């Protein structure tokens, strides 16, 4: 850690205010270039604490930067994690108010619910698969609190990995019934195909993403509790969504998930 507690609190407040007021800010490493990974996660955890203190509920966890393409783009070799809030949870087919965001983008993802606790270090896909209660399709809405989505990795971890909302599907399947790496996805925006992909884009297998999450949490002395909803990471690139856009994503064997940005 390089930052003291009062600076951590101040930066968490700055980022959360940017989110609540829809007023983007410059990346925090401009002011604190010496900050480290621990500082970055501590700011994220402080944002989470602030929300919970005000009565906000945590809906689950998310993995980000899980595709080779996105990692290469950021020049990193490790994914990142963040948290999901209940206030950012939307039903399939929802009309979502664009005023809630700064510059939203959408990613198609596979989400899982865990049945039993998962702990690292040393967690692997073989431990994750039997611990998965069900798999469902989901869309993540990301919305960086930084101007023009311009950030570096530490800044984006502090900003809860751009998490802003999610839409979960209504088809739930057991992991055994699916071949997750070859599970195909087609994303349409206003009726036109804009992205396609397969589950293997997520660290080779979406369940591997859950194992990596358990191992990353272990570094902070934490586990994935039983009954945790986890967005495993983007299968497609993130697509910008403007007021009036309709997003419809078809997932092989998991139905479709859609929303309209109103
Ligand atoms: O969920 C994600 O993969 C996003 C991680 C943060 C980077 C971004 O905002 O694109
Ligand atoms: Mg994502």
* Residue 163 alpha carbon, nearest atom of ligand 1: 1
- Tell me the CA distances in angstroms from 18 to 21, 23, 100, 101, 146, one per residue in order: 5, 5, 12, 10, 8
Looking at residue 77, its pLDDT comes to 83
**Pocket test residue of 66, 69, 70 for ligand 1, highest count of atoms within 8 A of CB:** 70
Gap between the Cα atoms of 23 and 17, Å rounded: 8
Gap between the Cα atoms of 262 and 27, Å rounded: 29
**Mean pLDDT calculated for residue range 117-127:** 98
For ligand 1, atom 8: residue with the closest CA: 162
Residue 235 Cα to ligand 2 middle (Å): 8
**Mean pLDDT calculated for residue range 251-257:** 98
User: What percent of the chain lies above the pLDDT cut of 90?
Assistant: 95
For ligand 1, atom 2: residue with the closest CA: 64
Rounded to 5°, angle at Cα 201 from 196 and 202: 125
Write down the pTM of the prediction.
Answer: 0.97
**Residue 46 pLDDT exceeds 90:** yes
C-alpha closest to that of 230 among 155, 175, 151? 175
Q: Which ligand is nearest to the CA of 108?
A: 2
pLDDT in tens, 139-197: 999 999 999 999 999 999 999 999 999 999 999 999 999 999 999 999 999 999 999 99
User: What percent of the chain lies above the pLDDT cut of 70?
Assistant: 100
pLDDT in tens, 205-222: 999 999 999 999 999 999
pLDDT in tens, 64-110: 999 988 788 778 888 999 999 999 999 999 999 999 999 999 999 99
Q: Which ligand is nearest to the CA of 80?
A: 1
Looking at residue 154, its pLDDT comes to 96
**Contact, 254 vs 117, CB < 8 A?**
no
Residue 49 Cα to ligand 2 middle (Å): 21
| Residue 234: band (very low, low, confident or very high) from pLDDT cuts 50, 70, 90 | very high
Contact 238 CB / ligand 1 (< 6 Å) = yes
């Amino acid at each position: 850690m390089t930052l003291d507690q009062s600076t951590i609190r101040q930066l968490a407040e700055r980022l959360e205010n940017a989110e609540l007021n829809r007023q983007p800010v410059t990346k925090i490493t401009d002011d604190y270039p010496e900050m480290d990974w621990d500082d970055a996660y501590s700011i994220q955890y402080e944002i989470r604490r602030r929300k919970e203190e005000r009565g906000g509920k945590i809906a689950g966890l998310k993995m980000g930067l899980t595709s080779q393409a996105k990692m290469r783009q950021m020049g990193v070799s490790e994914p990142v994690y963040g948290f999901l809030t209940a206030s950012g949870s939307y039903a399939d087919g929802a009309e979502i108010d664009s005023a809630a965001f700064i510059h939203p983008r959408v990613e198609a993802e596979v989400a899982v619910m865990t049945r039993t606790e998962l702990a690292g270090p040393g967690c692997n896909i073989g431990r994750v698969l039997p611990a998965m209660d069900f798999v469902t399709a989901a869309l993540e809405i990301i919305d960086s609190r930084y101007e023009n989505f311009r950030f570096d990795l530490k800044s984006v971890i502090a900003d809860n990995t751009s998490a802003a909302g999610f839409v979960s599907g209504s088809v739930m399947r057991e992991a055994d019934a699916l071949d997750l790496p070859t599970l195909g996805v087609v994303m349409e925006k206003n009726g036109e195909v804009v992205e396609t992909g397969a589950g293997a884009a997520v660290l080779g297998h979406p369940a591997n993403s859950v194992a990596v999450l358990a191992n990353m949490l272990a570094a902070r002395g934490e586990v994935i509790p039983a009954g945790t909803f986890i967005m495993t990471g983007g299968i497609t690139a993130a697509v910008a969504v403007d007021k009036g856009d309709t997003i419809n994503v078809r997932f092989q064997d998991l139905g479709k998930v859609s929303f309209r940005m109103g």
